[in-house]
Protein backbone atom coordinates (compact mmCIF):
# COMPACT_ATOMS: atom_id res chain seq x y z
CA UNK A 1 0.00 0.00 0.00
CA UNK A 2 2.87 2.41 0.65
CA UNK A 3 4.03 4.50 3.57
CA UNK A 4 1.55 7.30 2.84
CA UNK A 5 -1.54 5.22 2.10
CA UNK A 6 -4.58 7.13 3.29
CA UNK A 7 -2.68 10.42 3.55
CA UNK A 8 -3.62 13.55 1.63
CA UNK A 9 -0.88 15.77 0.19
CA UNK A 10 -1.03 19.18 -1.48
CA UNK A 11 1.89 20.17 -3.72
CA UNK A 12 1.65 23.80 -4.80
CA UNK A 13 4.06 24.71 -7.59
CA UNK A 14 3.77 21.57 -9.72
CA UNK A 15 2.71 23.07 -13.04
CA UNK A 16 6.05 23.04 -14.87
CA UNK A 17 7.15 19.71 -16.36
CA UNK A 18 10.32 18.45 -14.71
CA UNK A 19 10.26 20.79 -11.73
CA UNK A 20 10.64 19.96 -8.05
CA UNK A 21 6.91 20.06 -7.41
CA UNK A 22 6.27 17.39 -10.02
CA UNK A 23 9.01 15.12 -8.66
CA UNK A 24 7.60 15.53 -5.15
CA UNK A 25 4.07 14.71 -6.28
CA UNK A 26 5.23 11.57 -8.07
CA UNK A 27 7.21 10.38 -5.05
CA UNK A 28 4.27 10.76 -2.67
CA UNK A 29 1.88 9.08 -5.11
CA UNK A 30 4.28 6.16 -5.44
CA UNK A 31 3.91 5.63 -1.69
CA UNK A 32 0.12 5.57 -1.76
CA UNK A 33 -0.68 9.21 -1.00
CA UNK A 34 -3.70 10.98 -2.42
CA UNK A 35 -2.10 13.96 -4.14
CA UNK A 36 -3.54 17.35 -5.06
CA UNK A 37 -1.24 19.13 -7.51
CA UNK A 38 -1.65 22.86 -7.98
CA UNK A 39 -0.24 25.77 -9.91
CA UNK A 40 -1.13 28.17 -12.70
CA UNK A 41 -1.03 25.98 -15.86
CA UNK A 42 -3.92 23.61 -16.46
CA UNK A 43 -2.53 21.24 -19.11
CA UNK A 44 0.58 20.00 -17.22
CA UNK A 45 -1.34 19.81 -13.94
CA UNK A 46 -4.08 17.74 -15.53
CA UNK A 47 -1.50 15.40 -17.08
CA UNK A 48 0.32 15.02 -13.75
CA UNK A 49 -2.90 14.34 -11.87
CA UNK A 50 -3.85 11.64 -14.37
CA UNK A 51 -0.38 10.09 -14.09
CA UNK A 52 -0.40 10.03 -10.29
CA UNK A 53 -4.06 9.12 -9.82
CA UNK A 54 -4.68 12.39 -8.01
CA UNK A 55 -6.52 15.61 -8.71
CA UNK A 56 -5.45 19.10 -9.71
CA UNK A 57 -6.48 22.66 -8.94
CA UNK A 58 -5.52 25.90 -10.61
CA UNK A 59 -4.05 28.20 -7.96
CA UNK A 60 -2.01 31.39 -7.84
CA UNK A 61 -0.16 31.51 -4.52
CA UNK A 62 -0.50 35.30 -4.41
CA UNK A 63 -4.29 34.99 -4.17
CA UNK A 64 -5.86 34.52 -0.73
CA UNK A 65 -9.05 33.25 -2.35
CA UNK A 66 -6.98 30.95 -4.54
CA UNK A 67 -5.10 29.19 -1.74
CA UNK A 68 -8.23 28.91 0.39
CA UNK A 69 -10.07 27.37 -2.56
CA UNK A 70 -7.17 24.94 -3.04
CA UNK A 71 -7.42 23.68 0.53
CA UNK A 72 -11.22 23.52 0.30
CA UNK A 73 -10.97 21.52 -2.93
CA UNK A 74 -8.55 19.10 -1.27
CA UNK A 75 -10.88 18.61 1.69
CA UNK A 76 -13.77 18.02 -0.70
CA UNK A 77 -11.78 15.47 -2.73
CA UNK A 78 -9.97 13.62 0.06
CA UNK A 79 -11.67 14.59 3.32
CA UNK A 80 -8.46 15.73 5.01
CA UNK A 81 -5.16 17.58 4.54
CA UNK A 82 -2.13 15.85 6.04
CA UNK A 83 0.79 17.42 4.17
CA UNK A 84 1.16 20.80 2.47
CA UNK A 85 4.23 21.60 0.38
CA UNK A 86 5.08 24.97 -1.15
CA UNK A 87 7.37 24.45 -4.15
CA UNK A 88 6.65 27.78 -5.85
CA UNK A 89 9.33 30.34 -6.59
CA UNK A 90 10.29 33.38 -8.64
CA UNK A 91 13.90 34.03 -9.58
CA UNK A 92 14.76 37.70 -10.06
CA UNK A 93 18.50 38.00 -10.64
CA UNK A 94 19.66 41.62 -10.86
CA UNK A 95 22.40 43.80 -9.40
CA UNK A 96 21.11 45.31 -6.16
CA UNK A 97 20.98 48.89 -7.45
CA UNK A 98 18.91 47.81 -10.46
CA UNK A 99 16.05 46.26 -8.46
CA UNK A 100 12.82 48.13 -9.15
CA UNK A 101 9.79 48.53 -6.94
CA UNK A 102 7.95 46.30 -9.42
CA UNK A 103 10.60 43.60 -8.98
CA UNK A 104 10.30 43.85 -5.20
CA UNK A 105 6.51 43.76 -5.28
CA UNK A 106 6.40 40.70 -7.54
CA UNK A 107 8.95 38.63 -5.65
CA UNK A 108 7.52 39.56 -2.26
CA UNK A 109 4.03 38.49 -3.31
CA UNK A 110 5.28 35.13 -4.62
CA UNK A 111 7.96 34.31 -2.04
CA UNK A 112 6.75 35.95 1.17
CA UNK A 113 3.13 37.09 1.20
CA UNK A 114 1.84 34.17 -0.86
CA UNK A 115 3.43 31.46 1.30
CA UNK A 116 1.95 33.05 4.44
CA UNK A 117 -1.50 32.97 2.85
CA UNK A 118 -0.97 29.33 1.90
CA UNK A 119 0.17 28.39 5.40
CA UNK A 120 -2.87 30.09 6.93
CA UNK A 121 -5.19 28.10 4.68
CA UNK A 122 -3.30 24.87 5.37
CA UNK A 123 -3.37 25.26 9.14
CA UNK A 124 -7.10 25.95 9.12
CA UNK A 125 -7.58 22.80 7.02
CA UNK A 126 -5.35 20.51 9.10
CA UNK A 127 -7.89 19.24 11.62
CA UNK A 128 -5.72 16.36 12.88
CA UNK A 129 -2.24 17.83 12.70
CA UNK A 130 0.05 17.53 9.72
CA UNK A 131 3.30 18.51 8.05
CA UNK A 132 4.07 21.80 6.29
CA UNK A 133 7.17 21.89 4.08
CA UNK A 134 8.68 24.98 2.48
CA UNK A 135 11.06 24.56 -0.47
CA UNK A 136 13.60 27.29 0.18
CA UNK A 137 17.16 27.77 -1.09
CA UNK A 138 20.77 27.49 -0.02
CA UNK A 139 20.89 31.24 -0.70
CA UNK A 140 18.66 31.94 2.29
CA UNK A 141 21.84 31.53 4.34
CA UNK A 142 24.71 31.82 1.81
CA UNK A 143 25.61 34.80 -0.33
CA UNK A 144 25.07 34.65 -4.08
CA UNK A 145 25.74 37.64 -6.31
CA UNK A 146 22.81 39.57 -7.80
CA UNK A 147 20.15 37.68 -5.81
CA UNK A 148 19.43 40.03 -2.91
CA UNK A 149 15.64 40.10 -3.35
CA UNK A 150 15.46 36.36 -3.92
CA UNK A 151 17.66 35.61 -0.92
CA UNK A 152 15.85 38.04 1.36
CA UNK A 153 12.35 36.76 0.63
CA UNK A 154 13.42 33.13 0.98
CA UNK A 155 15.10 33.88 4.31
CA UNK A 156 12.07 35.80 5.57
CA UNK A 157 9.71 32.97 4.68
CA UNK A 158 12.00 30.46 6.38
CA UNK A 159 11.71 32.47 9.58
CA UNK A 160 7.91 32.44 9.24
CA UNK A 161 8.05 28.65 8.99
CA UNK A 162 9.94 28.54 12.27
CA UNK A 163 7.21 30.71 13.79
CA UNK A 164 4.60 28.20 12.63
CA UNK A 165 6.54 25.36 14.23
CA UNK A 166 6.65 27.31 17.50
CA UNK A 167 3.00 28.33 17.51
CA UNK A 168 1.24 25.25 16.15
CA UNK A 169 3.32 22.34 17.41
CA UNK A 170 0.76 21.86 20.17
CA UNK A 171 -1.83 21.13 17.50
CA UNK A 172 0.32 18.37 16.04
CA UNK A 173 1.53 20.47 13.10
CA UNK A 174 5.18 20.27 12.11
CA UNK A 175 6.73 22.90 9.84
CA UNK A 176 10.13 22.46 8.22
CA UNK A 177 12.25 23.73 5.36
CA UNK A 178 14.19 22.07 2.53
CA UNK A 179 17.06 24.17 1.16
CA UNK A 180 18.34 22.95 -2.22
CA UNK A 181 21.48 24.18 -3.87
CA UNK A 182 21.75 24.39 -7.63
CA UNK A 183 19.33 21.71 -8.82
CA UNK A 184 18.73 20.29 -12.28
CA UNK A 185 15.27 21.75 -12.85
CA UNK A 186 13.58 24.15 -15.28
CA UNK A 187 14.44 27.19 -13.12
CA UNK A 188 18.14 26.38 -13.52
CA UNK A 189 17.99 25.28 -17.16
CA UNK A 190 20.28 28.08 -18.38
CA UNK A 191 23.06 27.08 -15.96
CA UNK A 192 22.74 23.42 -16.86
CA UNK A 193 23.12 24.24 -20.54
CA UNK A 194 26.75 25.26 -19.85
CA UNK A 195 28.88 22.39 -18.46
CA UNK A 196 31.60 24.82 -17.36
CA UNK A 197 29.14 26.51 -14.99
CA UNK A 198 28.09 23.18 -13.50
CA UNK A 199 31.77 22.36 -13.00
CA UNK A 200 32.11 25.50 -10.85
CA UNK A 201 29.27 24.40 -8.58
CA UNK A 202 30.48 20.78 -8.45
CA UNK A 203 33.92 21.99 -7.39
CA UNK A 204 32.40 23.80 -4.39
CA UNK A 205 30.20 20.85 -3.37
CA UNK A 206 31.75 18.20 -1.10
CA UNK A 207 29.66 15.41 -2.64
CA UNK A 208 30.86 16.52 -6.07
CA UNK A 209 27.60 16.98 -7.92
CA UNK A 210 24.66 19.32 -8.22
CA UNK A 211 21.26 18.25 -6.94
CA UNK A 212 18.33 16.55 -8.61
CA UNK A 213 14.62 16.98 -8.12
CA UNK A 214 14.54 13.44 -6.76
CA UNK A 215 16.95 14.49 -3.99
CA UNK A 216 14.44 17.14 -2.93
CA UNK A 217 11.47 14.78 -3.18
CA UNK A 218 13.22 12.23 -0.96
CA UNK A 219 13.83 14.87 1.72
CA UNK A 220 10.18 15.91 1.63
CA UNK A 221 9.10 12.30 2.07
CA UNK A 222 11.08 12.00 5.29
CA UNK A 223 9.92 15.34 6.67
CA UNK A 224 6.30 14.33 6.07
CA UNK A 225 6.68 10.87 7.56
CA UNK A 226 5.63 9.76 11.01
CA UNK A 227 9.29 8.99 11.73
CA UNK A 228 10.23 12.67 11.59
CA UNK A 229 10.53 14.10 15.11
CA UNK A 230 11.63 17.52 13.91
CA UNK A 231 10.01 20.91 13.48
CA UNK A 232 11.17 24.44 12.76
CA UNK A 233 14.34 23.18 11.09
CA UNK A 234 16.09 23.42 7.73
CA UNK A 235 17.37 20.40 5.83
CA UNK A 236 20.29 21.55 3.68
CA UNK A 237 19.79 19.19 0.74
CA UNK A 238 22.68 20.46 -1.35
CA UNK A 239 25.53 17.98 -1.11
CA UNK A 240 27.33 19.94 1.59
CA UNK A 241 27.66 23.12 -0.46
CA UNK A 242 26.99 25.19 2.66
CA UNK A 243 30.41 24.06 3.94
CA UNK A 244 32.21 25.98 1.20
CA UNK A 245 31.00 28.84 -0.97
CA UNK A 246 28.94 29.60 -4.04
CA UNK A 247 30.71 30.71 -7.24
CA UNK A 248 30.96 34.47 -7.76
CA UNK A 249 29.23 36.20 -10.65
CA UNK A 250 32.53 36.90 -12.42
CA UNK A 251 33.43 33.21 -12.34
CA UNK A 252 30.05 32.22 -13.77
CA UNK A 253 30.31 34.86 -16.51
CA UNK A 254 33.81 33.72 -17.42
CA UNK A 255 32.65 30.11 -17.62
CA UNK A 256 29.74 31.09 -19.85
CA UNK A 257 32.01 33.10 -22.18
CA UNK A 258 34.51 30.25 -22.46
CA UNK A 259 31.82 27.70 -23.30
CA UNK A 260 32.01 26.36 -26.89
In tens, the pLDDT along 114-134 reads 999 999 999 999 999 999 999
In tens, the pLDDT along 69-119 reads 999 999 999 999 999 999 999 999 999 999 999 999 999 999 999 999 999
Mean residue pLDDT of the chain comes to 96
What DSSP string describes 158-213?
Answer: HHHHHHHHHHHGGGTEEEEEEEE-SEESGGGHHHHT-HHHHHHHHHT-TTSS-EEH
Note the pTM of the prediction, 2 decimals. 0.96
Q: Of residues 28, 144, 150, 168, which has the active-site annotation?
A: 150
The domain 8-185+211-243: what is its CATH number? 3.40.50.720
In tens, the pLDDT along 6-65 reads 999 999 999 999 999 999 999 999 999 999 999 999 999 999 999 999 999 999 999 999
Rg of the chain over CA atoms, in angstroms?
A: 18
Q: Tell me if residue 119 is catalytic.
A: no
Amino acid sequence: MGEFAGKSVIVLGAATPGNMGQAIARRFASQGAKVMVAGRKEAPLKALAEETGGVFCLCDITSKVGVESLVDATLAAFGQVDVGINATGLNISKPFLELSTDDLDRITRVQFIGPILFYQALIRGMKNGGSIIQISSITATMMFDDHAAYMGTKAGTDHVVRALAHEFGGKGIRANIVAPGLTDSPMAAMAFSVPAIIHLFNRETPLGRTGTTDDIAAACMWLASEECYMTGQTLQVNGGATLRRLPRAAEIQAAAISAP
